[in-house]
Amino acid sequence: MPRAAAARHSQFQLIEEGRIPMFQGDSIRVSALDDGFVELCFDRKDDAINKFDKRTVSELQRAITSASAHEGLRGVLITSAKQSFIVGADIGGFGALFSKPQQEVMSSNMASNRVFHALEELPVPVVVAINGFALGGGLEAALAADYRVMAQDAQVGLPEVKLGLFPGFGGTVRLPRVAGIEVALRWILGGEPSRAPAAEKARVVDFIASPESLRDTSLDVLRSAARGELGWRARRSAKLGPVQIEGGDTNAVFEEAKRTLVARMPKHQPAAMSALELLREAMSLDRDGALALEAAAFAKIAKTQAAGSLVQIFLSEQQVKKTAKRHASSGRRVQRAAVVGAGIMGGGIAFTSASRGIPVMMKDIAQGQLDLGIGEARKLLGKQVTAGRLAQDKADGVLASIVPQLNYQEFNTADVIVEAVVENLQIKHKVLRELEDAGRPDAVIASNTSSLRIDDLAAPLARPENFVGMHFFNPVPMMPLVEVIRGAKTSDAAVGTVVSYALSMGKTPIVVRDGPGFLVNRILTPYMQAFGRLLADGADYQQVDAAMEAFGWPMGPAYLNDVVGMDTGVHVGEIISAGFPERLRRTWKDPLQVMVAHARLGQKNGLGFYRYEISPTGKPVKHPDPVAVVLLQEVQTNGPSTFTDVEIVERMMLPLIIESALCLEEGVVASAAELDMALLLGVGLPSYLGGALKYADWLGLDRVIELSERYAALGPQYRATPTMRSMARERRKYY
């Protein structure tokens, strides 16, 4: 139906429903109801959701003006025609806004807030009907109304802190005046959504209705308010002054919130603490004074590295999801799977598949391994049952859908077969040939390998087009990333089928090109080489760990090697370095090899860079070990040396940035967003960086080139690429 005709049809439908059109925009329409009531409905054209962008905020002002001009106006009902009320602000527009000077960001927020003022200052009661989700700006708009009616299945919240921000449309001002300072602290600093009962208990919403009766109930509330039965004027007046204190020690409330925040706040993400201080400072002011403080504080936090990075992560997640769905459309849906190898990885893959509703056969050559695999699945399910996340009968069903076996019986029923045997080319060749014989001709065979090239593995296969890499990260049930590796002969259908399978398992699949180390391990290799070179140059590994953890990594490189396993690190590092003999050559003695030579393998045998003892809860606890310090003297040919934490961070991070740039330039991965998301999900790169390439943008490529020249004597790992130099000259960025 043509757009103009559709608009006329919509108007006729409204008239039939007793709603007389008064204003029609692209995001909002206003209709006259009976008895002097007006409905303002959010209904964004050509979109499945409502969100606040510049257009919607502008239209809201015009819609309010239209409603207020209605003769005999007695009340305004605010609704949504979508499945959700308003999901928040238009995050895609944040980049352009945040790139402006701080004063302009503040002015923009103040201008938007004047629209919410106009809503709050209508001379009649305003009731909002909340369906689906009202998040961020959606809840902030609802807080400007006098009463909030919430559907039983809806959710509301202020999640901005997860984007490195806090509410900027009046949320820090109106929420404490509506629900009290304790609720405001909990909701704004935590960022979690709340369901209807919790929102009503917190006094954030006033009434709950069934989804079917939401509009009628909201209209009844509006009529009651218009008749003077609910005291809406007094309620509105309370929102215009300082926060009302209902007894108790407010300072104690803030100090307790601060202690909790310090204990769990991610490094280098200042938004939550800034919001706490803003709430403390603004609670004694009137609405307008508090809103001015909010606008200034929001503009300041919007210019931080964390805000820019976390917003980019949100946008990158959306891009990665769309890309994965596009790949999946080339494949087929997996109904049944098989896994060969019941070790830690194979067992984890089988469990994850079954727990997501995809039955799986798990084959091994040893009954003991099968027993271990099933035992691990039983233990993981038991934890979920104990925690109340899974009913026992459901857990039993998941376990029953994992079929352990010592042969290839019924492997010809599997859509995807995942090979997860030992990282040995000859053994994998033997198993892969067996899988081609045992499986259907159209079955996709995926190798879970972290270091062997897919083209090398595919060499003996009759159908290499059906072969693909599927690199899971350990522990499989917890780690979200799966690298899907396309070999030279891998078909789009095989890639699509494995991507579809990974999505069904709740994973984030990222398609990469075959090559030594694929993507994540390749990028991590020069980072680990930088650690080895630092130790060889005399650095203290405990200082390196402390510096990198202070920088934001969940664990420093020495501790990480202990967790992964020193022998594993040596093996993977050698394979990847051999693939790039010129650039990743090592000219120093490897500290990891020294550790392995002295049977110090890390947590797996209790001795590595650190010494480990098992806690009463069964977790390994690390302790400094003087023996490791003595052993490392073997690689420090010039003795110990002193480095600043800044030098340590620069020497560790620069090779990681340069290798990331190379991977993008060589087409190992299709986009900066996919590369950075792989690092964030696969190795725990600090979120406030936004990824290696986002971090390069934050530093500025001219600064990256400057660091490259300073450290160039350390080796090719530190030398920026010609493309990076060109981008620096032209002031270009990766995003």
Active site residues: 471
Q: How far apart are CA 254 and CA 186, in angstroms?
A: 11
CA-CA distance, 195 to 648, in Å (whole number)?
46
| Radius of gyration from C-alpha coordinates of the chain | 29
How far is 631 from 376, CA to CA, in rounded Å?
36
CB 454 within 8 A of CB 487: yes
Asked if 30 contacts 63 with a C-beta cutoff of 8 angstroms, the reply is yes
Cβ proximity of 450 and 482 under 8 Å = no
Packed helices 250-264 and 271-282: angle between N→C axes, nearest 10 degrees:
170
| Calpha distance 715→582 (Å, rounded) | 10
**Nearest in space to 333 (alpha carbons), one of 173, 470, 499:** 499
Alpha helix positions (H), 337-440: 344-355, 367-386, 392-400, 425-438
Task: Determine contact, residues 343/511, Cβ cutoff 8 Å.
Answer: no
E strand residue ranges, 526-585:
none
Ramachandran class of 309: left when φ > 0, alpha when ψ lies in -120 to 50, beta otherwise: alpha
Question: Pick from 144, 207, 188: which is nearest to 170 by CA?
Answer: 144
What's the start-to-end Cα distance of the chain, in Å? 38
DSSP lists the bridge partners of residue 337 as 360, 416
Residue spans of alpha helices (H) in 283-304: 287-302
Which one-letter amino acid corresponds to residue 84?
S
Q: Strand, helix or coil at 459?
A: coil
Task: Please check whether residue 117 is in contact with residue 240, taking contact to mean a CB–CB distance below 8 angstroms.
Answer: no
Contact 584, 529 (CB under 8 A): yes
Distance separating alpha carbons of residues 97 and 299, to the nearest angstrom: 10
